[in-house]
Amino acid sequence: MSTVEATPVVPAPTAPPVITARGVSKRFLTHKSKATALKERVVKGRGLGTEEFWALRDVDVVIGEGETVGLIGPNGAGKSTLLKVLAGILRPTSGDVDVQGRIASLLELGAGFNGELTGRENLYLNGALLGLSRRELESLEESIIGFSEQGQRIDDPVKHYSSGEYVKLAFSIAVHVDPDVLLIDEVLAVGDEAFARKCLAKIAEFQRAGKTILFVTHSLDLVETLCTRGIVVDHGRVQYDGDPVFAVHTLRKILGTDRPVGAPEVQEEIGGHVVHGAVVSSTRGGPRAGRFAAGDRLHLRVDVEVVDGPTVHAGDVRVVFMGAGDIPIFGLRTPEPLPARAGRYAVDFEVEVPRLNGAFIVGVQVDEPTTGLPITARRFDDAVWVETGVLPGILDVPAQVQVSEQ
Amino acid sequence: MTALPVPAGDRAARASAQGRIRWELLSQLVRKDLKTKYQGSTLGFVWSLANPLLQLGIYYVIFSLVFRNGIPSYHVYLMSGLLAFTAFSAGVTGASTSVLGNAGLVKKVRFPLLVLPLSSVAFALVQLGLQLPVLFVIALVSGVNFFHLPLLLILPAFVLLVLFSTALGILVAALNVRYRDTSHFVEIAMLVWFWANPILYPVNLVRTQLDPHHLFWAYFLNPMASVVTAFQRAVYQTPVITNTNTGLRTALLADGGYLFYLRNLALGFVITGLLMLFAVRTFERLQADFAEDL
């Protein structure tokens, strides 16, 4: 099976580091073995067995000014712990964390509100916790309340707020206190769509202003589209650190979601076809190549086996190039099906690379030619890079632009 | 909102503003306590006085009217010690649950956690600040004129009260996160501790028992005993009282001078200093896991 080269790429920090974590480990002691009562401690003395759990192991992360980092990983991988350690909320068991500047954090639900206090009172309390003076908060009060869309509700105790209203106020405070570092843990999903858009717009504004953003999320599309860097955490260790597209692929591999739902882990001979490999290269049947420019010749060799069995089908081989978020960009197919005869076939495609921008991966599917039903499918996570223009967007469109005085 | 990257020097200042214990933050937390404890009621001021006044009333009725201890202006004597101890007891008890009670903040925001027990002690001091004028008015109305030199003793006594409450508060706040019954223990300890101070009884009762063994000094290993006796000397001031019926003179306060009190307070400061070192170190060691233990 082909794999993404998951060598951790630590980009040389070009910008001055804002968050520096060196050799950070975090150990938790499990509750059952821990004396939670002073009485117990006195009765049992020091001889309590401690069961420990390492949520983080020897993590090195340096985040530079202006980076937008997506922290991804399976549930229980240590993402939130890492975020809390970087935020200075949890102290690491060993290692050092250094943060430059003001940190605003939105962790899980809420951001340190007291339910009894009104929204406005919480605004002042939270602002004070974030290091702002009363005078600064007075000047920000109006815009915070405006952004949070709370209106009159701002003077209700926050215990009466819905989770959406809660997050709106929390997010509004966090972005208005002019933080140098914004830490977000899976909260954007709570607000309604209109607010989510507003949040994303605000985040984009932060990016333009050169602020550092670090967020934990399970929405991988967001990582691909928003982040400049992705960090994959699993079992308390950094598994990958680098390009967001690669990070997402690495995570999908860990999660096993790199295959369609229901697809078997090992390619079985369903109807007698096995896709052994798909290699992108710059010459026919040549070694793997990863980078192309528009107009280059791109060769793709798909290695398919038609396995002997009680029923041997013919098969249409289809290839899809997919962009970020698995959006299909373009497809190719064999003009005629593979013969219904056992053997190993090399299917060579050749295309002129279109004017694309970004990273793409290849999915291969073999269909039964008459019914069109899929026999087998497999995706390959070796990303192919195409760099044509510098403008954002998948497609680089040639255009004429004229500026004339009217 | 500024759209430009902040210069690095400015960033360091902002980071330190977030990591430092600031008055602004302390006052916001005290304000929060005032609001949540009294539910924003306009009678909050009255509530903060109700408890000690009720206590005072009960003790006065029992010990002065029922038992007839014959101490003139007993309520002033009683109140000067009682208010100091109540502030200590309320501060430490409040501090013991301060981290636990603010779990929502501790788990979500980076801020200096030491400010939590400090705010509980500060809250108790704010209440003391409201109560002291009442004491002064009652004393004056009762004909106890305290505008004499001994009143100055209230200053070092007050400082020791603040520091000792803070040190103990920090310690129990940290322990209570790890050992959840610490706050219950503190409550019971305060009931016992109350009687270890000469608040209801004259300190001379203790003196006559301990002096033959040369152990009277050991009574003041409890810094609160030094605070309480100094408060009494500062407000009540009269060291020896004369029974109007029998003409019998009994010593009520331990000493009629200043040195005795200053020496005891100095001992209290030394003990408090050691406790403070231990408390802050314990707190800083344990706070690493606060966000997870809550």
Q: What is the DSSP string of chain B?
A: ---SPPPHHHHHHHHHHHHS--HHHHHHHHHHHHHHHTTT-TTHHHHHHHHHHHHHHHHHIIIIIIS----TTHHHHHHHHHHHHHHHHHHHHHHHTHHHHTHHHHTT----TTHHHHHHHHHHHHHHHHHHHHHHHHHHHTT----SGGGGGHHHHHHHHHHHHHHHHHHHHHHHHHSTTHHHHHHHHHHHHHHTSTTSS-HHHHHHHHGGGT-HHHHTTSHHHHHHHHHHHHHT---EEE-TTT--EEE-SS-SSSHHHHHHHHHHHHHHHHHHHHHHHHHHHHGGGHHHH-
- Helix, strand, coil content of chain A in percent (nearest 5): 25, 35, 40
What number is the average pLDDT over the span A40-53? 62
Fill in the amino acid letter for B251: A
CB atoms within 10 A of CB A192: 11
Query: Chain B residues with CB inside 8 Å of A121's CB?
Result: 32, 35
- In whole angstroms, give the CA distance from residue B255 to residue B251: 8
Per-chain mean pLDDT for chain A: 80
- Residue corresponding to tokens 């539910």: B39
Residue A29's alpha-carbon distances to A36, A54, A137, A333, B176, in angstroms, are 11, 9, 39, 56, 17
Greater pLDDT, B225 or A39: B225
Please indicate if any CB of chain B lies within 8 Å of the CB of A103: yes
**Reported pTM:** 0.73
Q: Which of residues 135-194 of A touch B (CB under 8 A)?
A: 175-176, 178, 180
The 3-state DSSP class for residue A45 equals coil
* Chain B interface mutation, best of A43, A82, A114, highest count of B Cβ atoms under 10 Å: A114
What is the nearest CA distance from A30 to chain B, expressed in angstroms? 10
Q: What is the DSSP string of A255-316?
A: HTTTS-TT--SS---GGGEEEEEEEEESSTT--B--EE-TT-EEEEEEEEEE--SSS---BE
The per-residue pLDDT for A10 is: 44
- In whole angstroms, give the CA distance from residue A227 to residue A252: 17
B147: phi then psi, degrees, rounded to nearest 5: -80, 60
The per-residue pLDDT for A382 is: 74
Please indicate if any CB of chain B lies within 8 Å of the CB of A93: yes
The interface pTM score, or ipTM, of the predicted complex is 0.80
Fill in the amino acid letter for A41: R
User: pLDDT grade, residue A390 (50/70/90)?
Assistant: low
What is the nearest CA distance from B289 to chain A, expressed in angstroms? 7
The 3-state DSSP class for residue A144 equals helix
Would you kindly state where each structural domain of chain A is located, as residue ranges?
Answer: 17-255, 270-386
Bridge partner list, A220: none
Half-sphere exposure of B191 (CA within 13 A, CB side): 5
* Chain B interface mutation, best of A109, A129, A178, A184, highest count of B Cβ atoms under 10 Å: A129
Q: Which token pair is B149?
A: 């030199």
The per-residue pLDDT for B122 is: 95
For domain A270-386, is the CATH number 2.70.50.60?
yes
A103: phi then psi, degrees, rounded to nearest 5: -105, 130
pLDDT tens profile A121-142: 889 988 888 888 888 899 999 9
Contact A89 B32 (CB under 8 A): no
Q: Which of residues 270-289 of A touch B (CB under 8 A)?
A: none
Strand A17-29 versus strand A94-99 pairing type? antiparallel
What is the nearest CA distance from A357 to chain B, expressed in angstroms? 29
pLDDT in tens, chain B (294 residues): 443 444 555 767 777 777 778 888 898 888 888 887 776 556 666 777 788 888 888 988 888 888 887 788 888 889 899 999 999 999 999 999 999 988 888 888 888 899 999 999 999 998 898 888 888 888 888 888 888 888 999 999 999 999 999 999 999 999 999 888 899 999 999 999 999 999 988 888 888 888 888 888 899 999 999 999 999 999 888 887 776 677 777 778 888 888 999 999 999 999 999 999 999 999 998 887 788 777
Q: Are A301 and A321 within 8 A, CB to CB? A: no
The per-residue pLDDT for A110 is: 58
pLDDT higher than 60, residue A266: no
Element (H, E) at A85: helix A79-87
pLDDT higher than 60, residue A334: yes
Please indicate if any CB of chain B lies within 8 Å of the CB of A134: yes
pLDDT tens profile A68-93: 999 998 888 888 888 888 888 888 88
For the domain bounded by A17-255, which CATH number is listed?
A: 3.40.50.300
pLDDT tens profile A21-36: 999 998 887 655 455 6
Which has the minimum average pLDDT: A57-61, A381-385, B232-236?
Answer: A381-385
Q: Find how far residue A363's CA is from the centre of its chain.
A: 20
* Chain B interface mutation, best of A38, A124, A171, A185, highest count of B Cβ atoms under 10 Å: A38
- In whole angstroms, give the CA distance from residue B156 to residue B208: 27
The per-residue pLDDT for B83 is: 92
The per-residue pLDDT for B118 is: 96
Cβ-in-10-Å burial (0-12, 13-18, 19+) of A223 comes to buried
A13: phi then psi, degrees, rounded to nearest 5: -70, 110
Half-sphere exposure of B8 (CA within 13 A, CB side): 8
Q: Find how far residue A116's CA is from the centre of its chain.
A: 36
Q: Which of residues 219-238 of A touch B (CB under 8 A)?
A: none
- In whole angstroms, give the CA distance from residue A332 to residue A321: 9
pLDDT tens profile A174-219: 888 888 888 888 766 666 778 878 888 888 888 888 889 998 888 8
Would you kindly state where each structural domain of chain B is located, as residue ranges?
Answer: 22-34+41-293
The per-residue pLDDT for B172 is: 96
Chain A, nearest residue to B7 by Cα: A101
Contact A133 B24 (CB under 8 A): yes
Half-sphere exposure of B83 (CA within 13 A, CB side): 28
Chain A, nearest residue to B16 by Cα: A101
Please indicate if any CB of chain B lies within 8 Å of the CB of A100: yes
Q: Find how far residue B22's CA is from the centre of its chain.
A: 21
Fill in the amino acid letter for A21: A
Q: Are A381 and A372 within 8 A, CB to CB? A: no
Strand A316-322 versus strand A358-367 pairing type? antiparallel
The 3-state DSSP class for residue A161 equals coil
The per-residue pLDDT for A31 is: 56
Contact B11 A100 (CB under 8 A): yes
Q: Which residues are within 8 A (CB) of B173 and not within 5 positions of it... i.e. 6 or more apart?
A: B95, B96, B97, B98, B99, B116, B117, B120, B283
Element (H, E) at A24: strand A17-29
pLDDT tens profile A4-24: 333 444 444 467 888 899 999
A10: phi then psi, degrees, rounded to nearest 5: -95, 110
Q: Which token pair is A341?
A: 């005869």
Query: Chain A residues with CB inside 8 Å of B14's CB?
Result: 101-102, 131, 180
pLDDT tens profile A286-319: 888 888 888 889 999 998 888 777 777 788 888 9
User: pLDDT grade, residue A258 (50/70/90)?
Assistant: low
The per-residue pLDDT for A50 is: 62
Chain B, nearest residue to A88 by Cα: B110
Q: Are A300 and A308 within 8 A, CB to CB? A: no
